[in-house]
Amino acid sequence: MRAILLGFAAGVWWLQQQAQLPSWLAWFCASLCLCGIGARGARRRSAFILAAFAFGFAYAALRADVRLQAHLPVAYEQRDIALTGFVRGLPEAQTDGVRFLFEVESNGAGLRDFPRIVRLLWMPAERGHANAPPTLVPGQRWTLYARLKRAHGNANFGLRDSEVALLERNIRATGAVSNVRAPRRLRVDARGPLLAIERMRARLRGRIETVLADAPHRGIIVALAVGAQSSVSDSDWAIMRATGTSHLVAISGLHIGFVAGLAALLCGFAWKRMRLRGMAAPLWVSAPKIAALGAAIFASCYAALAGFNVPAQRVLWMLVVFGIGFIGGRRPASSLVFCWALAFVLLADPWAVTSPGFWLSFGAVAAILHGIASVGRQAVRVVEDAETIAREMEAREPPDPDAGRQKANVRTGSKAARGQPAALVRDESNDSARVPIASPAHTTPLEEARRVINPSPGAFQKLTGACRRAASNGHRHALSSLRVQYAVTLALAPLTIYWFSQIPLIGPLANLFAIPWVSVLVTPATLAGLILPAPFDAPALHFAHASLSMMIDALARLAATTNSPLWHLPQPGAFALVAACVGVAWALAPRGWPLRFAAPLTWLPLLASANHVTPHGEFRVTALDIGQGSSLVVETRRHTLVFDAGPGPESTHAGERIVAPYLLAAGIRSLDTLVISHSDSDHAGGAPAVLQGIAVEQLLASLPASDLLWSLARARGAERLRCAAGQHWTWDGVDFSMLWPDAGPLTGKPNHQGCVMKVTNAEGRSALFTADIEAGDERTLIARDRAALHADVLIAPHHGSRTSSTEPFLDSVKPLAAIFQMGYLNRFHHPNPTVYARYQLREIALSRSDEDGAARIDFGQEIALERFRQTHLRYWMNR
C-alpha cells in the first residue's frame, strides 16, 4: 500500500513539471490498461504502482484544467469592472494600502468563466484614491469597481515561480479598487463555516494586536495564534533566518502535535473520572479511544486557525488516519500513516508539491520516522543481547541448595514468600511459638535512619530505584531528542540548500532550546490567551510575549557570536540533490549498515560549486525579471557586477526578494562592483537590500552627494566612486568602459545622469547598458563617438519609452538582440508601440521580461540568448 500511495504522489509531482496539460483520452486509456495488467500474476504489484502513478498524473491534470478554465480575458485587462462579492481570508495592511482576497459572486462584464477569487489592493487616500480603505472583515459583501489583470508573477532562474503560488490559492486575477464609483457595502454578509472560521481568526488577531499594541514581537504571537505572518517585523525575520528558527513562527506540525498531545492527555484524564448511567465511562468506551478522538478534534481546530496550511494539513491527516485505525482496533505503522497523509494532502492540493513548506514538512517527518526506526531496531538488538548474556550467566551459576525449599514455600503460600518480615515467621513445626529466623544482631546508623524515615523494609530501595529509573528515562529521552534533532537537521539540509541556498550554521544549537521554549512556554500561553475572555486574556498574552522576548534576545546574542551565521551555497542540480538525499537516508540507517561511514561522500556534489563557470575572456549577462525596473548581473570567470538593483519597498522589493536571492542561488557570495545608474527608485530602490544582504567591494553610482546610499555603502565597508565617462577596467580578459555621464556636477533630471556602460569580451562581442537616457543624451553620444556605441546586445534605453531609442541611435548601435525590462501591464505603458516597432523593423531579436521572464545571454565567439519562460515553461505560466 505504501508503494501505491507514493506512486500516486509521484504522478501528481510529475504533472507539475509539464509545459502543457496532457491529452485526456490517452491517459485515461493508459490507466485502464495498467489496471487490467494488474490482474495478471506476478506483475500485479508493479502494475498497481504504475496505475497509481497514472491516476495521480491524471487527477492533478484534471484539477489543473478545471482551475485554469476560470480566467480573465485579455480584452478585459486594465479595464474597470464592477464586482459584487465578499472578503475572504485575513486582509493585510501594507505601506501601499490594504491587500485582500475578494470572492466574486457576479461581474459587470457578464463573463461566464470569470475568476472566482481575485486579489485586490485598496490604496489609501494620500495615494490619490478617493476612498480610504475601511476596516475589512471576512464575509463583508461589497459592490466595487476594480481594474484587473491576469495572474502574473516574476520568473527568474533559480527562484521559485510566484505564479504557481497564485494558482495554488486559486487567485486568477489581481488588481486594485478603482475610483470610478465609491465602493458600496451591502447589508447582508456572506455566511458559511469557512467564513465563520476566518471571522474568528480576524477577531482573535484584532484582540491580540489591541492587548499587545506596543509589544515589539506581537507579530510572532499573531502568527502563532492565527497563522498570519504578515505582521512579523523584518528584524524578527532576520534573527530567525540567521538562527534557523523561522519554522517556529508558523503554526506547524510541531505546534499542532503539541496541542493534540495535550488534548489527548486531558481528555483521557477527564474520561477516566467520568461516570455514565452509574458506571465508569471507560467501561462504555476506553479512555485511549476518547483521547485519540479529542486529539483529532483539537488539532482540527488549531489547524483551522492556521488557515489549513500544508504542515497543518499533514499533521492533521496523520492524526486522523492514526485515530481511525486506533479506534477500529488497529495500530497502523507510522510509515503507512505518513503515506496516507501525503496522499490526502495532494488530493486536497495538487500544487503543494511546488512549495518548500511541503518538502520541508514531510522531509522532517520522514527523517524522524527513519531515525526512530533505526533507534528502535538498535534498542531491540541491545535487549536481545542483554537477555542472551543473562541466560548465559544464569547457566554458569552454581546450584543453590535452598532453592528447592524456597520454591516449596512459594507453592505452599508461606508468609515469608508473601512478604511478611522474616523475624515474625511462624515455625511450622511448632505452632505455639514464634522463632526469630533472621533478626540482625545490630543495625548501622544508615539502616537506623532508613527505619526511622520509613519503617517499611524496602521503601528506601523503592525510592532509590524510582529515582534511578527516572534518571535513566530522562537520559534516554534526552538522547532520543538529540537523535531526532540530528536526523531532522541532516535531512533538511539538502532541501534548505535547494530552496533557500543557505544553511544556518547555528540552527541545531538554536533549535535545541528554542523548540522546547516555544512549545512549553510561548504556545500554551498564547492558546490560553485565545481561550480566556477579556480581561483575563491579557496576563496570558503578556506572559507569552515576555517569554518570546527572552528567546528572541537569546537568539540575537547567539547570532552575534559569529560573523557569518549563514552558510551560503549555490542551488544544487537534480543529481546533486538526489545524491544528497540518498546519503541522508544512508547516514541515518541503523548501526551495522554496510559502508555507512561513506555516506558523507554523497554530499560532495551538493557542496561543490554548481554555478556556471564562465571561460576566460567571456562573460554572461542575466536580465532579471523584477517588475517595473531594471537589474542586470554581469559575470566573468572570477568577478561579478550588478547593474542596478530594481525597485524597493515601494514596489516589488526586488533587491530583497529577487536580486540578492538570485545571487545566492547562483553561488555568488560577494559583488566586486554594484553600479547604480541613477537615483530613480525603479533602479536604485533595491540597492540597500543588496548592500545588506551581499558583501559589496565597490559602489559605482551616479547619485547626488546627499543620497543615503553613499553612507550605507561606507557603513558596509564598500569603496565609493561616481561613474563618469572614460572609466575603464578589465576583468578576466573582459573590458568594461563607462561612456556616460561626463565628470563634474550632476545637473538636470536623473535620467540624463544615468551611467552608460559597455562590456566587450575577447572576441569583440559586446553589450551596451543604457539606463534611462533619453533622445538628447543619445544624440550627444552619437556625436562624441559613434563607433563606440556598436554592440551585439542592447539593453533598451528607459524600458522602451517613447523618449528614447531614436532611429539614429539604433542605427549606430546595430544590435543583434535587445532586452526590454518592464513590469507586466505597467502604468507607464512601456514599451511604447512605435519604439518597439523600430526594433522589429530592424529584425532585432527581442526579449521582454513581462512576456519571457528573465533573459540570459552568454557572450563567447557567438551570443546565445535564453528566455526563462521558454526553457522553463510550465502549463500555468501567463505568456
Out of 69, 95, 125, a domain closes at 69
Same domain, 63 and 80: no
For residue 49, being part of any structural domain is answered with yes
698-754 tens-digit pLDDT: 999 999 999 999 999 999 999 999 999 999 999 999 999 999 999 888 888 999 999
18 found inside a domain: yes
Domain check: are 751 and 850 in the same one?
yes
436, pLDDT greater than 70 = no
Q: 272 with 287: CB under 8 angstroms?
A: yes
Domain presence at residue 304: no
Handedness of CA 339, 340, 341, 345 (dihedral sign): positive
Residues 682 and 593 in one domain: no
The verdict on 593 and 699 lying in the same domain is no
Residue 572 has phi, psi (to 5 degrees) of -75, 160
For residue 681, tell me if it sits in a domain.
yes
The alpha carbons of the chain give a radius of gyration, in whole angstroms, of 35
Q: Please write the tens of the pLDDT for every residue from 15-68.
A: 999 999 987 655 666 666 666 655 554 456 777 888 888 889 989 999 999 999
User: Cis bond leading into 516, ω under 30°?
Assistant: no
Instruction: Give the pLDDT band (50/70/90) at residue 130.
Output: low
Residues 715 and 728 in one domain: yes
44 and 92, same domain (yes or no): no
DSSP-derived pairing of the beta strands 502-504 and 566-568: antiparallel
Q: What is the pLDDT of residue 126?
A: 55
Per-residue CA distances from 300 to 285, 295, 579, 661, 677 (Å): 22, 8, 37, 35, 53
Q: Does 47 reside within a domain?
A: yes
The pLDDT-based confidence of 622 (bands split at 50, 70, 90) is: very high
Omega into 535 within 30° of 0, i.e. cis? yes
Task: Decide if pLDDT at 550 tops 70.
Answer: yes
The confidence score (pLDDT) of residue 778 equals 96
pLDDT of residue 32: 62
Instruction: For residue 787, name the pLDDT band (cuts at 50, 70, 90).
Output: very high
Cell of 608: 561543490
Cell numbers linked to 315: 499533521
Q: How far apart are CA 357 and CA 350, in angstroms?
A: 14
Residue 645 lies in a domain: yes
pLDDT of residue 376: 45
Assess whether 600 and 650 both reside in one domain.
Answer: no
What is the predicted pLDDT for the residue at 613? Answer: 85
* 732 and 695 housed in the same domain: yes
Q: What CA–CA distance (Å, rounded) separates 303 from 299? A: 6
Q: What is the mean pLDDT of residues 369-388?
A: 49
pLDDT for 470 equals 67
Asked which of 29, 49, 69 is the last residue of a domain, the reply is 69
Banded model confidence at residue 392, pLDDT cuts 50, 70, 90:
very low
Q: Where is average pLDDT lowest: 202-206, 421-425, 479-483, 851-855?
A: 421-425
**134-143: pLDDT as tens digits:** 889 999 999 9
Look up the domain containing 695 and give its range. Answer: 619-871
158-167, 193-202, 319-328, 540-549: segment of lowest average pLDDT: 319-328
Residue 47 and residue 102 in one domain: no
Question: Which of 351, 280, 283 is CA-nearest to residue 313?
Answer: 351
Comparing 191 with 591, the larger pLDDT belongs to 191
Q: What are the two backbone dihedrals, phi and then psi, of residue 417, each rounded to the nearest 5 degrees?
A: -70, -30
Characterize 490-528 residue by residue with b for buried, 16 or more Cβ atoms within 10 angstroms of its Cβ, and e for exposed: bbbbbbbbbbbbbbbbbbeebbeebbebbbebbbbbbbb
In a shared domain, residues 669 and 691: yes
Higher pLDDT, 273 or 445: 273
Instruction: Check whether the bond before 311 is cis (ω within 30° of 0).
Output: no
Q: Would you say residue 295 lies in a domain? A: no
Question: Is 285 in a helix, a strand, or coil?
Answer: coil
Q: Could you tell me the pLDDT band of residue 189, with boundaries at 50, 70 and 90?
A: very high
Q: Are 234 and 101 found together in one domain?
A: no
- Give the count of domains, the chain: 5
Cα–Cα distance, 110 to 81 (Å, whole number): 10
Residue 382 has pLDDT above 50, yes or no: no
What's the confidence (pLDDT) of residue 289?
86
- Record the cell numbers describing residue 229, joined without a space: 505572518
End residue of a domain, out of 175, 191, 207: 191
Do 105 and 65 lie in a common domain?
A: no
583 vs 126, which has greater pLDDT?
A: 583
The CATH number of whichever domain residue 119 belongs to comes to: 2.40.50
Looking at 18-32, 77-91, 668-682, 716-730, which range is the least confident one? 18-32
Strands 117-122 and 171-177, how do they pair? parallel
For 605-733, strand residue ranges (E) read 619-623, 632-635, 640-643, 670-671, 673-676, 695-696, 698-701, 719-722, 728-731
- Tell me if 864 is assigned to some domain: yes
Environment class of residue 795 by beta-carbon count within 10 Å: exposed (0-12), middle (13-18) or buried (19+)? Answer: buried
Q: To the nearest whole number, what is the mean pLDDT of the chain?
A: 84
Place of cell 485515530: 323
CA 137 to chain centre: 27
